[in-house]
Structure formats: C-alpha cells, structure tokens
Structure 1
C-alpha cells in the first residue's frame, strides 16, 4: 500500500484524530503552575488520592484498588483480600515527607506514609531521579523499611511500594513492589474516575491529573490515558497507520523525507506517538524511532490476579477455523504462559520431543496459530497483525480483553 493524500486527509480530519489532538493541546492546571513532574508534588497528590477522608468522597476505595494491585504483583502471602476487607481502612492517616533519622544519623524522608493500627504503607516515589544511595550500598528504600520494621506495632502489616514511570527502574530493597505510573493510572485513577460516587470537583482534579501524566519524562509519557480513543483510531485507520509506522521506521531522516507518511509524522509526531504507544495489544507498543514500550498485561499477571488458572483453555475463531491454547504455569520460574495446541488439542513438539509454542501474551500466539494453519493448507497470505485479547476466549466465552479490563 502506498499512502495517498486522500487517505492521509481522511485520518487527520477524522473526529477521533482531532479529539486526540485536542486532548494533547488542552492546557491543564498543573502545567500552568509549573508542577508537572516534581516528586514532592506527585507525592502530595498521591497522599490526597489515598486518604479515605479526602475531598474525593470515595472513602477507602482508591486505597483498596492500590492494595489489590500490590497483591496482584506481590508473591508474598502476608496480605490477602480478606485481610484487607477486614481492616478499618477509614482509620488510615497519610502524610508526605515523613522525616526520621537512621541509626547512623542520616536524615531520611518517606515520600508517602500511611498508618493505622493494622497497616503501614510506605511509598517511595521516583519521577525523574533514581534511588539515592547516599554513599552506601543499600539505598533509601532499605532505610525506610528498616525504620518501619523497627517501629511497627504488634499486628501491623507493612506494605512497601516503589512507584516510577520507568518499568526498568527497580528499588534496591527487594521487599518493595514496583508499580509504574501506567499501572497506577489503569488500576486506581481510571477506576476512580469511573466511580459513580465521585463528586464534580474530584472528577475535574483526577482528569486534570490524568492529562498531566501524558507529559513526557525522559522522552516518554508517565502514563497513557487515551488508549480507548487510540484503539478506536487504529480500528478505523489501521492500514494508514501501519504505512506511516513502517515508512518512518525505515527512514534514515524522517524530518527531511518528503514522502507523505514522513511529512505527516513529523507534523503530528506527538499524536502519532501516543497512538503507537497505546497499541501494545494490537501491534506496536512503541514509537517508530524508539524502543520505549508500555507494560503489557501478561499471562502471569492474569494468573496472579486469579483471572485464569493453570489449565484454563482458550479458543480463537478466525476465518471460520478454530485454534486452541491452554494456560500452563511453570512452577520453576513462577511464570504463566499460553501454550498453543493443535487441532486435536495436543501440544506441538520439536525434533527433540520438547513442547514448543509458549507465549507470554496472546496476540503473537494467535498470529502464529493462524499462519501455521495457513501454511499447512497452502494459503499464501500471511497474517501480520491480530488483536489477540479480543479474539481469544475461554470455554465460557469470556475474551482475554474482558479479563484484562476487569483487573
């Protein structure tokens, strides 16, 4: 396909494209006051969000959402859903920059600190900088946890979180659970915005904050908040977007390239980048000129969340043909995979008799299953893209997309 001016015009003049452009260009109050990405400001906002007595009027709902995310990502069995529901979370008190001194007289400040008689929540918030070692090899996070462990009351459970835009940035203390700002938006903020009890002022502030998360840090947004709109754009103009992505990726200097695709990308780069970054379940998940990727919900995430089990069966129907797979949990590496099955519901094996066809996500699994079938049946056309989560279903007819959306 060679893009022509009519196809380009149809995309950029569409209601959906212009709506995304409007969202990007709309000024938010945090940009106006110059508080887009300071750690102290994000920590203050987070403390307000989680406080059961804040003006949001959502009670402990945001806190329960965050603790649920912690349980999904943590291998520890110390905190259970029943334990959370049995707690008096309305009694949690939050503060920012809780200051204390270590045994060797170092001054430390915990970004967000929440406490009740039953729970202590420690949040280390890293927006731009990395964890400060202060001349030691243990870092801030261990100092914080040591302080909390030394002062915890009988019966208090301790939850330590390390929140960052960068999924590759890890805390030095392995007892912390890393949460990205994308996950914070998807699991907590977006769910609060959808809550019917949210008041008008609270909705305005959360939407403004979400818009602020689009602002880039080190060239990448802290979180993508228009994924539904971006998916709708791709559903309507997928071939055009494929052509733009491929041409820009191949171009040695897209800023000087006179092709329609490169000219379009150069002029609307921020908009196209948000679309491409938002499409991890379909094809891209990165921009044409970088390898920055969104976190993809894997089968391990679904397994840890209790959405699937070891042995959960899946079926995909495409062009009137059914393809099969099963969830298989590897107890040795604590990962769950999608294992492709043949038409007789049996695994594929290599020449050594080893099972093959393991996948962490469903889109590539679907593409390979369909292309194996096509090759066996002498069908020349190869499938290049597939929205796997929308096609794969459990025996009960629930799509993987629905499982992901329910997390």
Structure 2
C-alpha cells in the first residue's frame, strides 16, 4: 500500500512537470507565431488631418491620430495590438492600447498638457535664432509620439509634432483700440506668448462688439489651422468694456456652439457698470456708454437672465483692478458672487476727476489706462496664463 501511494505521488509530480514544460513551450510557440505574424507589417501613423504640425497646449485641444497597419502586400491587418507612448512624457494617449479594426485601422486621441514652459526674457534672447521660437515669437516644444505593436519593439512608427502656448486674444475697452495693449503684447512676446488684438467699434454697444468677438475668434482659429496649427480654445485678456463684451459672448447661446475660450482675465472691468458712464453720456451719446451705465438693461435684466447669471462657469477666470481706478469702483470691479478672487494693484493716486473728464491728456494718464503699462501687472497676467485659475461658482 505504501508503495502504491509512493508511485502515485511520483506520477503526479511527473504529470505536473510535463504540464509546466508544455505550457512554457506553448507560450514560446505563441510568441514566435505572434512575432512572425506582426514582423512583416508596415505601420502608418499620422494626424487624421495630416496638415496639422503644431497644437496648442490645452488638454481640451485633443488631437485625433490614425494608425494603419498593412502587410507586405498592402493588405490591411486586423486585430493588431498597439500601444502608444510619448517619448518625452509630454501629454497622454487615450486609449493607451487598442487593436486594429477589420480595415487594419485604429484611432487614438492625444491629449496635450495645459502648459508649455515659458522661458524668461534672458532665455529668450539666447534662443532667438533657435528652433524653439517660431516666427511670431512663441515658445514651442517638440513632442515625439510613437505607435508600436505590443511586445514587439521592431514593429513601430513615430511622428514629431510641436506644442505651443495657447494664443492670447486682447480685447480693448470703450473708445479705445488694440494699440492700447502694445506694451503688454511686447512683454508677452518677450516671454514666448503669442497675442493678437481685436479692434471693434465700442460706440455700437456690447452686443454688437460681442458678435465681432465671436467672428474674430472663429477667424483666428481658421487662420491658425491654415498654418498647420490646431487651436481649440483661446485665452482672452480684456480691459474695461472689453470684459463686458467677453462676458456677453461667452454667456450667449452662440457660445455653446463655438466653445472656444479657455480663460478670461479681466483688467479694470466694471462688472456692475461704471459710475462715470452717466456723466460720460453727456459727452458721448452712443450705445456703448449707455450699456456701461449701472442701471442699463444689460446689467439689470440681460446678464441676470443669461448663462450662470452672466459669467460662464466652464471658463477659468482671473480678475485684476487698480486700487484707485477712476472708472471702476471696488464694488463694481469685484466678482465675489462667483467666488472669484480679485488682485488689487496700487498704482499711485490719480489726478483724474469729473471736472477734467474730457481732458484727453489727463484721461490717458488715468490709472484706468496706466494699469495696462505696468510690469507688475504684466507679470501677474502671465502667471495667470501659466497656471490653472478658478472656475466661477455655478449659480442656479
């Protein structure tokens, strides 16, 4: 009896050994088969729109890529397991792995990061003639993306694209032009940010200007695309009435279609109207000055009935005012109802008053305008453009 159990134990051990050997050999055969199956194939990897060579650094600005796998006879190969990587760990893929369909194709989405490292002015000077700066002065970063067959390093394809900062749109205020942003724009350029100004006729009022902003953003998006640059959303920096224009557009029904603003940065914006507008109406009888009155239908009726009561909750917001701004009172310049903090800059005292309201020279030296020529303000705006900002509180 003991001999029987001893022999049975030996037989079980022998069977276990044979099973392990069989399993190892089977796995090896499968690997060899897979390797053979996927070695003689060609992988083609490119954006669905092959004209795109650069994308803006915004995680909502997703780039769709197409992979085609064909054998040496040019026939599609289905079921090929693929994985995707960014050689320099910039951005992510979704999904990370996928198999080709019956047509030998697969589609994957590349999600870029939200920022590109913005160099200092000194660094920019060292790179003026390098490939890290494009013709408009924007800092760009090269990204290398790869698609490869799972566990087979030899079967792969890669592409190189460029990543740039989200373009900045500048929106001026009442009776002004984009020229008022010249110093700010020059500073942006010195740190690798590309900006462009919208010029609109403020006398026609906020709604007219909002339509111009809508068209301008669509035109800019198309213009970038014609240059091989995919831009999904813009960062909008606006001054004075320009902030009211941007608020109206981004809370309008049209905006839901375009959805093309990532950040709104307000500088000296009278969010509840300006106490000087009724006085200004004595000198300028146009729709723009009427809209800026605190008691105008825009602030009393229209904004309260718009998306999130006039401040889109899906757009990041930054808010800046001057301590002694002549046009914007602290109460009007705040966005406390939406839990948005306000950065207040002390730019000195003002010699502006109601008595010299129409004096052009004094008007130009007013803090309301001077704030657009202050380096500390420039640095704060760039900081806001580089980091994530607060989303407005959703107000039912």
Per the shorter chain, which TM-score range? under 0.3
Query: TM-score by structure 2 length?
Result: 0.26
Report the TM-score when normalising by structure 1. Answer: 0.26
Instruction: Select the structure of larger CA radius of gyration.
Output: 2
